Structure 1
Amino acid sequence: MARYILNRIIGVIVVLFIVATVVFVIVRVTPGDPAAVMLGPDATAADIADLRIRLGLNQPIPVQYLYFMGGLLRGDLGQSIFLNEPVLTALGQRAEPTFFLTIFSILIACAIALPVGILSAYKRGSVFDQVVTTLAMLSASIPSFWLGLVFIEFFAVKLGWFPTSGYGGPGDSFLSRMHHLVQPAVTLGLVNSALIIRFVRASMLDVLGDDYVRTARSKGMGEARVVLKHALKNALIPILTVIGLTTALLISGAIVTETVFGLPGVGSLIVSAVTRRDYPVIQGALLVIAALYVLINFAIDMLYLVVDPRVSY
């Protein structure tokens, strides 16, 4: 087991190093002078030269790379040009809405997908199974921004149950801020539950016909115990994988939903950084999101050991 964990940790470090290198190269190979692109066409030559010095773009590429990697090791993602504050601080100030939106969305998606997917597999070929499969395919094809606008029109404008946008004021309570997240969380949860439903159904179908399931039934065990204890436990690895990937996708995919609902999260920060060509913020956000992808995958790998001890061998 120790060797398995060590191999995964080494893999995480290697992937993070590669991602950091790719992000560094992408920014440097952008057509034109990055400093001139950031400041726009109205910038003077002096302003461009000053920004090049501030960003270290006047140094040779190998020197820039060493400074870049050294800053990452110190936790320094650079300085935002337009916000005039460290990128890590800017991301941290806007992390709360994105964090809770991701957590609530994946909880809603799992609360829908797990029981529906298990029951659909158990009732394979029935009307319920066909309806679930059809609705899952339909949900996967619905754009989240369109569903969000429908929710705003119906639940916020017509019924007045939820705010149309925003995350509350600075003095609002925690429950008030969470109230603003109900609609976007349900939007993302419904859309992303479709993929999890299909994986849960497929994984359960793979194990429900195995010999050990038939043996458990022949011993007189109840159907609920056979399905939930024996079959589900052995189908968990692919299910955990898709839940982990969905969580990672929600972190980066919340950009559109945050924009629709006016949430001041990381997604909105990235959109504004792209609009204003604030490259340090874009670069830092890419690195953080990529790191979260890798760490979530690492956490899923560790869960494999709990679900199936044979993985360590």
Structure 2
Amino acid sequence: MTRYILKRILGMFIVIFLVLTIAFLIVRLAPGDPAALMLGPEATPEETAALRTELGLDRPIVVQYFTFVVNAAQGDLGTSLFFRQPVTQVLAARAEPTIFLALFSLVFALVIATPIGIYAAYRRGSFLDQSAISTAMLAASIPSFWTGLMFQRYLATDLGLFPASGYGGPDASFIERMGYLILPSIVLGIVNSALILRFTRASMLDILGEDYIRTARSKGMGEPRVVLRHALKNAAIPIITVIGLTFALLVSGAVVTERVFNIPGMGNLVVSAVLRRDYPVIQGALIVVASLYVLINLVTDLLYLTVDKRVRY
């Protein structure tokens, strides 16, 4: 097991190192002078030269790369050109709504998809099974921004059940801010529940046809115990995999929903950074999101050990 964990951790560091390299190359491979692109066409040559010196772009490329990697390893991702603050502080200030939005969306997706997927597999071919598959395909096909706008119009504006947009004022409490995330979490949960539902159903269908399931039934074991204890436990690895991937996608892909509901998260920050040509923020966000990806994959791999003991070998 120790070897298994060490291999996964080593792979995680390799991926992060490659991401650091890609983030470094993004600015250097951009057409024209990166400093001129950041400052815009109205910048004077003196301002451009000063920014090149500040960013270290006047040094040899090898020195720039080594300095960038060393600073990133120490948690220094540079300084935002727009906010004039360290990138880590800018990202940390925007991380809370994005992380909680992803968590709430994942919980909502699991509440919808897992029981329906299990029951659809158990009643294969039934009306409920066909309805669940059709609904999942429909949910996956509808753009999240359209769903968000419809929910915002009818549930928030017309019925007043949820806040329409925003993340609360500066003095808002934590509970109040979380209330602003309920409606966008429902939107993202519905969209992402389709993939979890289909994987849960497919995985359960494979297990329910196994010989040991028929043996358990022939011994008189109750159906809930057969389905939940024997079938679901052995079907858990593909389900855990898709849950981990879904959470990673929610963290990195909630840009549209954050824009629709005006949530000041990391997705909204990256879009604004692109428009402002704030390359240090873009680089930092790329590194942070990639690190979250590999960390979630590592946690998913470690969960395999607790679900299926055979993974140890």
Into which bin does the TM-score normalised by the smaller protein fall? over 0.9
The equivalent of 1:71 in structure 2 is: 71
Which whole-Å CA distance do the structure 1 matches of 2:48 and 2:128 have between them?
A: 64
The equivalent of 2:54 in structure 1 is: 54
Which whole-Å CA distance do the structure 2 matches of 1:27 and 1:300 have between them?
A: 33
The equivalent of 1:185 in structure 2 is: 185
The equivalent of 2:277 in structure 1 is: 277
1:308 aligns with 2:308: yes
The equivalent of 1:117 in structure 2 is: 117
TM-superposition CA deviations, 1:185-211 (whole Å, max 9, x none): 000000000000000000000100001
Kindly state the Cα deviation for residue 102 of structure 1 after the two structures are TM-superposed. 0.7
Task: Give secondary structure in 1 for the equivalent of 2:81.
Answer: coil
Task: Give secondary structure in 2 for the equivalent of 1:35.
Answer: helix
Kindly state the Cα deviation for residue 277 of structure 1 after the two structures are TM-superposed. 0.5
**Equivalence map 1:71-90=2 (5 Å):** 71-90=71-90
Q: Which residue identity lines up with residue 132 of structure 1 in the other structure?
A: A
1:149 aligns with 2:146: no
Structure 2, unpaired ranges of 5+: none
Task: Give secondary structure in 2 for the equivalent of 1:94.
Answer: helix
Which whole-Å CA distance do the structure 2 matches of 1:77 and 1:271 have between them?
A: 18
Instruction: Select between 293-302 and 40-49 the one with higher mean Cα deviation.
Output: 40-49
**Equivalence map 1:236-247=2 (5 Å):** 236-247=236-247
TM-superposition CA deviations, 1:258-281 (whole Å, max 9, x none): 110001111111111011010000
Q: Which residue identity lines up with residue 52 of structure 1 in the other structure?
A: R
Task: Give secondary structure in 2 for the equivalent of 1:82.
Answer: coil
* Identity, % of aligned positions: 63
**Equivalence map 1:17-32=2 (5 Å):** 17-32=17-32
Which whole-Å CA distance do the structure 2 matches of 1:246 and 1:32 have between them?
A: 37
The equivalent of 2:290 in structure 1 is: 290
Instruction: Select between 4-13 and 19-28 the one with higher mean Cα deviation.
Output: 19-28
What TM-score results when the alignment is normalised by the length of structure 1? 0.99
Q: Which residue identity lines up with residue 10 of structure 1 in the other structure?
A: L
TM-superposition CA deviations, 1:132-179 (whole Å, max 9, x none): 000000000111111000011001111112221110012112221111
Kindly state the Cα deviation for residue 106 of structure 1 after the two structures are TM-superposed. 0.2
Structure 1, unpaired ranges of 5+: none
1:299 aligns with 2:283: no
Task: Give secondary structure in 1 for the equivalent of 2:162.
Answer: coil
> What count of residue pairs does the alignment treat as equivalent?
313
What TM-score results when the alignment is normalised by the length of structure 2? 0.99
The equivalent of 1:2 in structure 2 is: 2
Which whole-Å CA distance do the structure 1 matches of 2:200 and 2:278 have between them?
A: 41
Kindly state the Cα deviation for residue 26 of structure 1 after the two structures are TM-superposed. 2.1
**Equivalence map 1:84-233=2 (5 Å):** 84-233=84-233
Task: Give secondary structure in 2 for the equivalent of 1:7.
Answer: helix
Task: Give secondary structure in 1 for the equivalent of 2:137.
Answer: helix
TM-superposition CA deviations, 1:107-130 (whole Å, max 9, x none): 000111100000010011111100
